[in-house]
Structure 1
Amino acid sequence: MRTGTGQDTAPGLRAPALYRCTVAHARTAPLRHTVRHRTYLWYVDPDRPPRLPRPLRPLARFDARDHFGGTAPTIRAGLERFLAARGIDLHGGPVTMLAHARVLGHVFNPLTLYWCHDRAGTLRCVVAEVHNTYGERHCYLLPSDLGEGQLAHVEKELYVSPFFPVDGRYRMRLPEPGERLGLTVQLERDGGRPFTATVRGERTAATTGALLRTAVRHPLSTLAVSAAIRAHGAWLFLRGLPVLPRPRHQPQEGVE
Structure 2
Amino acid sequence: MKPLGPGAAGAAIYRTSISHVRHSPLKNAFTYRSYSWLVDVDELPRLPRLLRPLAGFRSADHLGDPDASIRANVERFLRTQGVTPDGGRIHMLASARVLGYVFNPLSIFWCYRAGGELECVVAEVHNTYGERHCYLLRTDQAGRASVPKAFYVSPFNDVSGQYRMKLPPPGERLAVSVVLEREGHRPFVATMDGRRQPATIRSILAAALAVPAAPLLVSALIRVQGIKLWARRLPVVTRPHHPSQEAVQ
Q: What TM-score do the two structures reach when normalised by structure 2?
A: 0.95
User: Displacement, 1:3?
Assistant: 1.8
* 1:17-36 matched pairs, under 5 angstroms: 17-36=12-31
Match for residue 62 of structure 1 among 49, 57, 60: 57
Q: Deviations over 1:74-111 (max 9, x none)?
A: 11111011011122122111011100000010000000
Q: CA 1:2–1:88 in 2, change beyond 3 Å: closer, same or farther?
A: farther
Matching residue within 181, 194, 200 for 2:193: 200
1:228 matches 2:221: yes
User: Are the aligned partners of 1:23 and 1:197 in contact in 2 as well (CA < 8 Å)?
Assistant: yes
CA RMSD of aligned residues (A): 1.5
Aligned to 1:183: 176
Evaluate the alpha carbon distance shift between residue 64 and residue 2 of structure 1 in structure 2; reply closer, same or farther with a 3 A threshold: farther
1:72 Cα deviation after fit: 4.2
Cα separation, 2, equivalents of 1:213 and 1:251? 38
Q: Within the alignment, does 1:136 sit opposite 2:104 as a pair?
A: no
Query: SS at the partner of 1:224?
Result: helix
1:2·1:52 contact (CA, 8 Å) conserved in 2?
no
Superposed, 1:4-153 pairs within 5 Å as 15-145=10-140, 148-153=141-146
CA contact (8 A) 1:14 1:45 kept: no
Separation of aligned partners in 2, 1:14 and 1:79: 22
Secondary structure class of the residue paired with 1:102: coil
Q: What residue in structure 1 maps to residue 147 of structure 2?
A: 154
Letter in 2 for 1:190: E
1:70 positional shift? 4.1
Separation (CA, whole Å) in 2 of partners of 1:117 and 1:106: 29
Is the 2:35–2:95 Cα contact (8 Å) retained in structure 1? yes
SS of the residue aligned with 2:246?
coil
- SS of corresponding position for 2:41: coil
After superposition, the C-alpha distances for 1:40-71 in whole angstroms (9 at most, x for unaligned) are 00000011011210110111111000111343
Which residue identity lines up with residue 238 of structure 1 in the other structure?
Answer: A
In the alignment, is the contact (CA less than 8 A) between 1:126 and 1:143 conserved in 2? yes
How far residue 14 of structure 1 moved from its aligned partner, in angstroms, is 5.0
- Structure 2 residue aligned with 1:163: 156
Post-superposition shift, 1:27? 0.5
Aligned residues: 246
Task: Give the counterpart of 1:250 among 239, 243, 248.
Answer: 243
Structure 1 pair 85–72 and aligned structure 2 pair: CA distance change class (3 A): farther
2:40–2:91: 8 Å Cα contact kept in structure 1? yes
CA distance in 1, matches of 2:56, 2:173: 24
Deviation at 1:223, TM superposition (A): 0.2
State whether residues 49 and 62 of structure 1, in contact with CA within 8 Å, keep that contact through their aligned partners in structure 2. yes
AA in 2 matched with 1:221: A
User: Aligned in 2, Cα 1:114/1:14: closer, same or farther, shift over 3 Å?
Assistant: farther
Q: Using the TM superposition, give the Cα deviation of residue 21 of structure 1 relative to its aligned residue in structure 2, in angstroms.
A: 0.6
CA distance in 2, matches of 1:20, 1:254: 31
Name the counterpart of 1:3. Answer: 3
| Aligned partner of residue 235 in structure 1, secondary structure | helix
What do the CA deviations read for 1:107-134 (whole angstroms, capped 9, x no partner)? 0000000000011011000000000000
- Structure 1: runs of 5 or more not aligned: 5-12
What is the deviation of 1:2?
7.7
